[in-house]
């Protein structure tokens, strides 16, 4: 069988084998840490926290941490503070000249930006950790237990939570450098997929025991899930190719150029970033309410509709933000003027379009045409979990029908398989697919 032969070929390549083994070991370490409770916390007294994270926005936080959030783990804050810091640094790179200069400095500038991102991550962790401890204390009191009190416990737990998240970041960087795939994305994917078996089992049990459609309905759900995954793959890989002709040049006695190539413009150039931006803003009401610790507070009464992930206002605002951020992020990552200048510098042109300004306008027009349907499709994927929930699918399983979780899963799996295939092709082995090659989030063929 081809799959068996592919696995054998992967195992024959020592470098690839070592990378896969190292990635697996580091992921096991991360999963082990996610069940180690903070010192002084009774694991049996976390029923209130688990109930709080079983629905709403808090369930998303728990999903991204792989259940560490609801376990009051030493890595409870997970990798999300680093992602928040990365988003802030990216926005600063647009508005602040100093960060724009760093981006143009190549590898040295990238290292400085990464260092600033880590510093900002630590600052975010120091602010988030006490808030997490306050919420944990409230949830434990609701079930009749108490958390250790005192400044020493708060300070030590804050440092433990911050150190735990930074260690998770270090694991992600080691996976990127010495393992396979993007480490940070891989850790998020593992946290998400860790909940899939339980969610799938619970949905199966509910269908066959509660007279809600039985096995037929469960199979229809699986078919719908596969259809949504196929749509997400198309969204990640979809491109519009623009033909480019290069002028013929004579260098000595040799002729160069004249070949026709293509510029791949992605339908979803922003990838999953618009959903992450939108959800980062939608998390603000939760922060203002103090994680919902006081249901009678004015903040809870005002912002409660915006924390219901199945409510109309949450999804309406989420869709609007996703479409806006898709246009915004595409505008700052795709520069038609720069692309036109690069083509002109290399004696390339788009057939029927004048080089220079006209080429930039043409590329910008094409990007506008494909960005609108791409942003609408992305927003539709984001609200699919809500639609699935309205169809009677349990929330835990419905979360895999769309949103950030599905796009991260699809994107990370494609990127990882793409790296594996690159190692196979470099050693003159067959790729993972019989026809064609795997195309990752970059939209290019390797």
User: Is the predicted pLDDT of residue 299 greater than 70, yes or no?
Assistant: no
| DSSP letters for 167-233 | HHHHHHHHHHHHSSS-HHHHHHHHHHHTTHHHHHHHHHHHHHHTTSSHHHHHHHHHHHHHHHHHHHH
Q: What SS3 state is found at 244?
A: strand
Q: What are phi and psi of 363, to 5 degrees?
A: -65, -40
The predicted model gives 394-422 an average pLDDT of 78
* Cα distances (Å, whole numbers) of residue 40 to 36, 72, 133, 306: 11, 11, 12, 34
How do residues 355-366 score in pLDDT, each as one tens digit?
Answer: 888 888 888 888
Confidence of residue 384 (pLDDT cuts 50, 70, 90): confident
52-56, 335-339, 439-443 — most confident range: 335-339
> What are residue 349's DSSP bridge partners?
245
Instruction: Tell me the C-alpha distance between 417 and 431, whole Å.
Output: 10
Residue whose token pair is 């927003």? 379
- 18 conformational bin, left if phi > 0, alpha if psi -120 to 50, beta if neither: alpha
The predicted model gives 211-218 an average pLDDT of 75
How do residues 118-133 score in pLDDT, each as one tens digit?
Answer: 999 999 999 888 888 8
User: Is the predicted pLDDT of residue 286 greater than 70, yes or no?
Assistant: no
pLDDT of residue 116: 92
Instruction: Tell me the C-alpha distance between 129 and 254, whole Å.
Output: 65
The more confident residue out of 76 and 236 is: 76
How do residues 327-338 score in pLDDT, each as one tens digit?
Answer: 888 887 788 888
Neighbour-count burial of 116, counting CB atoms closer than 10 A to its CB (0-12 exposed, 13-18 middle, 19+ buried): middle
Whether the full predicted model's pTM is greater than 0.85, yes or no, is no
Confidence of residue 433 (pLDDT cuts 50, 70, 90): low
Beta carbons of 325 and 273 less than 8 angstroms apart? yes
User: Is the predicted pLDDT of residue 212 greater than 70, yes or no?
Assistant: no
Q: What are phi and psi of 245, to 5 degrees?
A: -110, 135
Instruction: Tell me the C-alpha distance between 75 and 81, whole Å.
Output: 11
The predicted model gives 197-205 an average pLDDT of 83
Q: What are phi and psi of 76, to 5 degrees?
A: -60, -35
At how many degrees (to 10) do helices 273-282 and 80-95 cross?
110
pLDDT of residue 122: 93
pLDDT of residue 248: 60
Kind of pairing between the strands at 348-349 and 239-246: antiparallel
- 38 conformational bin, left if phi > 0, alpha if psi -120 to 50, beta if neither: beta
pLDDT of residue 167: 94
Instruction: Tell me the C-alpha distance between 76 and 232, whole Å.
Output: 29
Whole-angstrom Cα Rg for the chain: 24
Spell out the residues 6+ positions from residue 187 whose beta carbon is closer than 8 angstroms to its own: 27, 30, 79, 168, 171, 172, 175
How do residues 316-329 score in pLDDT, each as one tens digit?
Answer: 888 888 888 888 88
pLDDT of residue 301: 64
pLDDT of residue 97: 85
Instruction: Tell me the C-alpha distance between 325 and 323, whole Å.
Output: 6
pLDDT of residue 443: 40
How do residues 225-264 score in pLDDT, each as one tens digit?
Answer: 888 888 888 877 778 788 887 766 544 555 555 566 778 8
Mean per-residue pLDDT of the chain: 79
pLDDT of residue 259: 63
pLDDT of residue 370: 86
How do residues 146-190 score in pLDDT, each as one tens digit?
Answer: 778 888 888 999 999 999 999 999 999 999 888 887 888 888 888
Instruction: Tell me the C-alpha distance between 171 and 30, whole Å.
Output: 8
Biggest CA–CA distance in the chain, Å, is 88
User: Is the predicted pLDDT of residue 25 greater than 90, yes or no?
Assistant: yes
pLDDT of residue 50: 78
pLDDT of residue 446: 27
pLDDT of residue 98: 87
The more confident residue out of 286 and 369 is: 369
């Amino acid at each position: 069988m081809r799959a068996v032969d592919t696995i054998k070929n992967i195992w024959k390549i020592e470098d690839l084998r070592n990378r896969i083994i190292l990635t697996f070991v580091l992921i096991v370490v991360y999963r082990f840490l996610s069940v180690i409770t903070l010192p002084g916390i009774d694991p049996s007294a976390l029923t209130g926290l688990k109930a709080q994270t079983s629905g709403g926005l808090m369930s998303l936080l728990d999903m991204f941490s792989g259940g560490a959030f609801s376990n009051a783990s030493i890595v409870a804050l997970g990798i999300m503070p680093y992602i928040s810091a990365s988003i802030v640094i990216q926005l600063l790179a647009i508005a602040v000249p100093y960060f724009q200069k760093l981006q143009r400095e190549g590898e040295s500038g990238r290292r400085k930006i990464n260092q600033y991102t880590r510093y900002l991550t630590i600052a975010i962790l120091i602010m988030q950790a006490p808030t997490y401890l306050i919420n944990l204390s409230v949830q434990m009191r609701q079930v009749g237990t108490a958390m250790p009190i005192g400044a020493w416990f708060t300070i030590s737990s804050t440092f433990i939570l911050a150190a735990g998240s930074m260690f998770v970041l270090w694991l992600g960087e080691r996976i990127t450098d010495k393992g396979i795939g993007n480490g940070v994305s891989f850790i998020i994917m593992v946290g998400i997929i860790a909940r899939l078996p339980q969610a799938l089992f619970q949905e199966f049990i509910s269908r066959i025991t509660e007279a809600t459609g039985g096995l037929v309905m469960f199979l229809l759900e699986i078919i719908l899930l596969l259809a949504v995954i196929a749509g997400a793959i198309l969204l990640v890989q979809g491109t519009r190719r623009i033909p480019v002709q290069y002028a013929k040049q004579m260098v000595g006695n040799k002729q160069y150029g004249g070949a026709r190539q293509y510029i791949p413009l992605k339908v979803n150039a922003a990838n999953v970033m618009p959903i992450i931006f939108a959800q980062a803003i939608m998390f603000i009401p939760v922060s203002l309410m103090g994680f919902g610790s006081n249901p009678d507070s004015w903040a809870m009464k005002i912002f409660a509709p915006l924390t219901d992930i199945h409510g109309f206002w949450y999804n309406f605002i989420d869709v609007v933000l996703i479409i806006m951020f898709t246009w915004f992020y595409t505008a700052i990552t795709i520069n038609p003027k720069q692309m036109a200048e690069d083509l002109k510098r290399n004696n390339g042109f788009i057939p029927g379009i004048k080089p220079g300004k006209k080429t930039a306008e043409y590329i910008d027009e094409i990007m506008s045409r494909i960005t609108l349907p791409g942003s609408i499709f992305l927003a539709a994927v984001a609200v699919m979990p809500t639609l699935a929930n309205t169809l009677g699918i349990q929330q835990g399983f419905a979360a895999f029908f769309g949103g950030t979780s599905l796009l991260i899963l699809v994107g990370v799996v494609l990127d990882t398989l793409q790296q594996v295939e690159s190692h196979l092709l470099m050693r003159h082995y067959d790729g993972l697919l019989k026809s064609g090659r795997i195309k990752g989030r970059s939209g290019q063929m390797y």
